[in-house]
Amino acid sequence: MSSEGGKEDCLGWAARDPSGFLSPYKFTRRAVGSEDVSIKITHCGVCYADVAWTRNVQGHSKYPLVPGHEIVGIVKQVGSSVQRFKVGDHVGVGTYVNSCRECEYCNDRLETQCEKAVLTFDGIDADGTVTKGGYSSHIVIHERYCFRIPENYPMDLAAPLLCAGITVYTPMIRHKMNQPGKSLGVIGLGGLGHMAVKFGKAFGLKVTVFSTSISKKEEALSLLGADHFVISSDLEQMKAIAKSLDFIIDTAAGDHPFDPYMSLLKTGGILALVGFLSEVKFSPASLNLNMRTVSGSVTGGTKDTQEMIDLCAAQKIYPNIEVIPIDYANEALERLIKRDVKYRFVIDIENSLK
């Protein structure tokens, strides 16, 4: 909802034009409906989507635009029909805030596939208003799209789970990449890639990290606990592990050749692509001759998301983060473009948004 025609009860940071520059902005959140919860936001992760939308990369950004879809906070008010949450609960909100709740995908708790799914920011909600994200003081949302954060899980660490975490967890569960003893390759070691490594180790997989930079070796092996590290541009290193992997998660943001990675999969192996490259190109022989599969995936439905959060709490799986104040958001987005973060920025909304 715009800031016109009502009390400006929410403070956020918004981009006003494709420069993407963020600055303070007051606007109105909707009133709490019978099935809604109002959440005081304490933390919000910084995702590359925040860069793309604030700078109108897709060409459909609606300004003023308040980004942020890795939201964590505390329930401050609940509607009269809310069943799952009470005031004081720790909750999270991810990449979508509405869907039709009637289609086959919604019935299967795969709301991300619903044709009427509404993005957390820059989406058009059921009442025709434009959604605004987590770089803000609070949010009002239907209880279905909230996730319980266990009390023992630090709230700042929970934020990246709502996008980076679930984006790699979803294809891993879908393709049964949770079988102890099997082998997983992870392409890219950013916000998504480092979570894929952590999940792989939690599932008992042998994890190999691929990077073009030797500087990532120490952090991959020592910091994140990967079993092996391979320079993907080194043909000898790649050849040495041909047909050795059961699975590959490709989190790379930049274009790259696919055939070299396909050759690393065993017969029947699976490559899951979660990045949005400009082109995916490989020889049919890379796929056909060894019965391999290439699959795409985005975030995840409500069922998988809650299961992932509960798993992270039970097994103490924590993202690696850098906590920042809101007034550092513009610098953080610039650093994100340069991949200068290990591995996720998280904005301390509660203590810095005034």
> Tens-digit pLDDT profile for the chain (354 aa)?
333 334 678 999 999 999 999 999 999 999 999 999 999 999 999 999 999 999 999 999 999 999 999 999 999 999 999 999 999 999 999 999 999 999 999 999 999 999 999 999 999 988 899 999 999 999 999 999 999 999 999 999 999 999 999 999 999 999 999 999 999 999 999 999 999 999 999 999 999 999 988 989 999 999 999 999 999 999 999 999 999 999 999 999 888 999 999 999 999 999 999 998 888 999 999 999 999 999 999 999 999 999 999 999 999 999 999 999 999 999 999 999 998 999 999 999 999 998
Q: What is the pTM of this model?
A: 0.94
Give the Å distances, CA to CA, from 257 to 191, 216, 278. 21, 20, 12
pLDDT of residue 181: 97
Give yes or no for a contact between 117 and 99, defined as CB atoms under 8 angstroms apart.
yes
Query: CB neighbours (10 Å) of residue 123?
Result: 18
Say which DSSP state 204 is in: T
Angstrom distance (rounded) from CA 155 to CA 169: 19
Query: Which pLDDT score, from 0 to 100, does residue 141 have?
Result: 96
Question: Longest Cα pair distance anywhere in the chain, in angstroms?
Answer: 65
Sorted by where each starts, the structural domains of the chain and their CATH numbers stand as: 8-163+317-348 (3.90.180.10), 165-296 (3.40.50.720)
Q: Provide the CB-side half-sphere exposure for 301 (13 A, CA).
A: 15
Q: Which two tokens stand for residue 112?
A: 């991300």
Predicted local confidence at residue 3, as pLDDT: 36
